Amino acid sequence: MSFLSLPVWAVIAGAFGLAALLFALQILKARQKLVRIAAAGLWAQAARVTPLRVFRQRFQRWLAYLLIVAIALLLWFAGARPEMAPARDAADHIFYLDASAGLMGRDDLAQARRALIADARNTDPARRRVYLDGAVATPLLQPGENLALLSQRLDGVRARPAPSSFAEAFVSPELDGAASPRRPTVFHYYGAWSGARPVTPSAGRRLVYGYLAAPTPDNRGIVALGASPAASGDAGRADILVEAIGADGVSLPADALRFSRDGRDVAVETLARPDGRLVVRDVIADGGLFAVRLARSDAFPADDQAGLRLPDRRPVRVALSPGAPAAVVRAVRLNPAFTVTAPQDAQVVVRRGSEWFGEGRPALVVSQAGDQSAFVFTYGADEAEPNLAGALDALGVSAIETQALARFTRRDVAAETRPGQQRGVAVWSALFDEAGGFPAASSFPVFVARTLSWLADAGPWIPYAQAGTDLTDQSDLFGLSSDRRIADRAMKGDLFLNQAGETRIGDLRLAVALTNREITMDAARAAPADMVVTSVRGPAVDLLFILLVVIAGLLLLFEWRLHQRGAMA
């Protein structure tokens, strides 16, 4: 037998302490209230017939003391949460609760939880481990730990809208390393059958299913949601692709869906493609939240709705100084992604180095070729230094053009970075000389667009954000430089989107959707015939705890009854 969080010796010591404390309390008699009454003599006479309960005379009532001690000890042991050790087992048992999207239907998680506790209760505590599904399998119960801890730790567990990662976890160091090479290991799986389907145990390992989520035969779900630049050519708008399917995999019509912008339902025109997918055209790309949901939800809610944070493609306001190079002015005016404004309204200015124009704003400065490099990037104090090696490439200036510019200026064309108050790009004026050929190059408008976008810190183009995948940034495809926040995370290999819902990368807000065709279709199907639930189940409730509390309660009632009848003080 073991006890929750207290070693056996502490429980026994506590029991003796309780008995001693009750003994002392009996000796030290509770404070009596003083009642003044003229007939005290008659009471004393009556009390002489009934034994007075004073001092040691209390202990003439050993049975009363033993009753109180029994009640206290029963409650003490119950509070210590004893656990009877089941028979020793030759195998190790690893329990895995796959609380991914597959368990979001009905009360699947609660049933899986009960099955898990019941099975674990019937397993040798020294040979069991319990893990929770996640990007990394999280240990819930280590060998030797009391089962009551598992129940507590499971209290806060909710199924997360994400694909199962059991297959990855099964071969991960956490689970694979936990299995002893000298003993057989039994993996107990509690989740949706589709999560365990790809897993094939190796020799000495056995996979059994403790609980498999019940199918939702009429399940329908949203399986695709993404944005692309509007086919109409409007730079400030995007086309949204939506696909929702039924249990048979057939796409649902538009009237089965409801759309909303920033939480408010909106009516949209949809265009059905030949493959059944729906396109919502010319949605204003202002960084808002575009959500779609099923008009009629079903018993598997994980895929009934999806959201997408739209790219922010509102035009960048640019102020052009009188001395701005004509090539730059032309490239700005022709690009619908920019609007020319007065310097006080501008996000970005273009000026010569000698001009006093739009001070305090990020600027593309055309400077004389002095001692400084051809391209000088100034970055803000609160951001990381730009990757210099890729900076020119990111701005659309290829190595070939760099060499051509070097020949024209007869100087080395190099780039350097400097910290500053805000972003800025300083470029030799010679590079904008029509004779140099660069203004006439096809890369020049790209250079201007990306430079000004970088200066304005325009948002990235995230076409979609799907749970269980890495984040995709298509800014480069659509005339933008890669977002610095995403680039930073990408450098750390940390772009994995763990689950559906709102999330952030730095100050960049993202809406992640489940949109997983396999999950939607598998949720509608029953488990294959070869996947059968095998339980090693004991009682799902702590019978020993309940038994102790019930006995203590009965003894308490018995004592109260004795007290009422005057048989016991």
Partner 1 sequence: MLFRRRAAVAAPAAVAGLADPLTFEALFDPAFLAAVRPFSLRISRAQKGGRLAEQRTNARGQGAEFADFKPYVAGDDLRAIDWNVYRRLGRLFVRVFEESQDMPVYFLVDRSRSLFVEQPPRIHAAQAATLALATVALDQHDSVGLFPFSDTLEIEFRAVSGKGNLSRVAHSLAGYSALQGTGLAAALSHLASLRLRQGLVIVVSDFFDEAGVEAVVRGLEQLPHRLLLVQIVKSYDADPERHPELNGDILLEDGEQVQPTSVTVTPDLMARYKAAYRRFSDTLSDFARSRGAGLVQIDADRPVRDQLSVLFGQGGVKL
Please give the residue ranges that form the binding site for partner 1 (CB under 8 A): 29-30, 32-50, 52-54, 565-566, 569
The neighbour count for residue 360, using CB atoms within 10 Å, is: 9
Smallest separation, CB 41 to partner 1 (Å): 6
Q: Are 293 and 258 in contact (CB under 8 A)?
A: yes
How far apart are the C-alpha atoms of 514 and 162, rounded to whole Å?
6
The end-to-end CA distance of the chain, in Å, is 36
Q: Which is nearer to partner 1, 88 or 565 (CB)?
A: 565
CB burial of 540-561 (b: ≥16 within 10 Å; e: otherwise) equals: eebebbeebbeebeebeeebee
Q: What is the DSSP string of 479-536?
A: T-PPPHHHHHHHHTT--B--SSEEEEETTEEEEEB---HHHHHHHTSPPPTT--B---
Q: Which is nearer to partner 1, 64 or 365 (CB)?
A: 64
Phi and psi, residue 368, nearest 5°? -75, 145
How far apart are the C-alpha atoms of 121 and 429, rounded to whole Å?
78
Q: What would the 3-class secondary structure string for 346-384 be?
A: CCEEEEECCCCCCCCCCEEEEECCCCCCCEEEEECCCCC
Smallest separation, CB 568 to partner 1 (Å): 8
Smallest separation, CB 29 to partner 1 (Å): 8
Short-list 477, 16, 521, CA closest to 222: 521
Q: Which is nearer to partner 1, 549 or 562 (CB)?
A: 562
Smallest separation, CB 35 to partner 1 (Å): 5
- Determine the residue type at 154: L
Smallest separation, CB 70 to partner 1 (Å): 21
Smallest separation, CB 15 to partner 1 (Å): 27
Smallest separation, CB 18 to partner 1 (Å): 22
Structure tokens at 395: 């701005």
Q: Which is nearer to partner 1, 46 or 543 (CB)?
A: 46
How far apart are the C-alpha atoms of 70 and 63, rounded to whole Å?
10
Q: Which is nearer to partner 1, 29 or 418 (CB)?
A: 29
Q: Which is nearer to partner 1, 50 or 344 (CB)?
A: 50
Smallest separation, CB 32 to partner 1 (Å): 5
Q: Which is nearer to partner 1, 41 or 360 (CB)?
A: 41
Q: Which is nearer to partner 1, 57 or 354 (CB)?
A: 57
Smallest separation, CB 57 to partner 1 (Å): 10
> Which residue is associated with the tokens 């989740």?
191
List the strands of the sheet with 264-266, edge to edge: 264-266, 257-261, 289-294, 305-309
Short-list 134, 156, 132, CA closest to 142: 132
The neighbour count for residue 36, using CB atoms within 10 Å, is: 5
Smallest separation, CB 111 to partner 1 (Å): 51
Q: Which is nearer to partner 1, 26 or 100 (CB)?
A: 26
Q: Which residues contact 149 (CB under 8 A, 6 or more apart)?
A: 4, 5, 141
Q: Are 401 and 354 in contact (CB under 8 A)?
A: no
DSSP state of 466: B
Smallest separation, CB 20 to partner 1 (Å): 22
Q: Are 187 and 269 in contact (CB under 8 A)?
A: no
Q: Which is nearer to partner 1, 35 or 90 (CB)?
A: 35
CA dihedral 496, 498, 499, 504 (to 10 degrees): -70
Q: Which is nearer to partner 1, 39 or 203 (CB)?
A: 39
Short-list 443, 282, 375, 125, CA closest to 117: 125
Q: Are 512 and 464 in contact (CB under 8 A)?
A: no
Smallest separation, CB 25 to partner 1 (Å): 13
Smallest separation, CB 564 to partner 1 (Å): 8
Q: Which is nearer to partner 1, 30 or 90 (CB)?
A: 30
Q: Which is nearer to partner 1, 57 or 368 (CB)?
A: 57
Q: Which is nearer to partner 1, 57 or 152 (CB)?
A: 57
Smallest separation, CB 37 to partner 1 (Å): 6
Q: Are 105 and 140 in contact (CB under 8 A)?
A: no
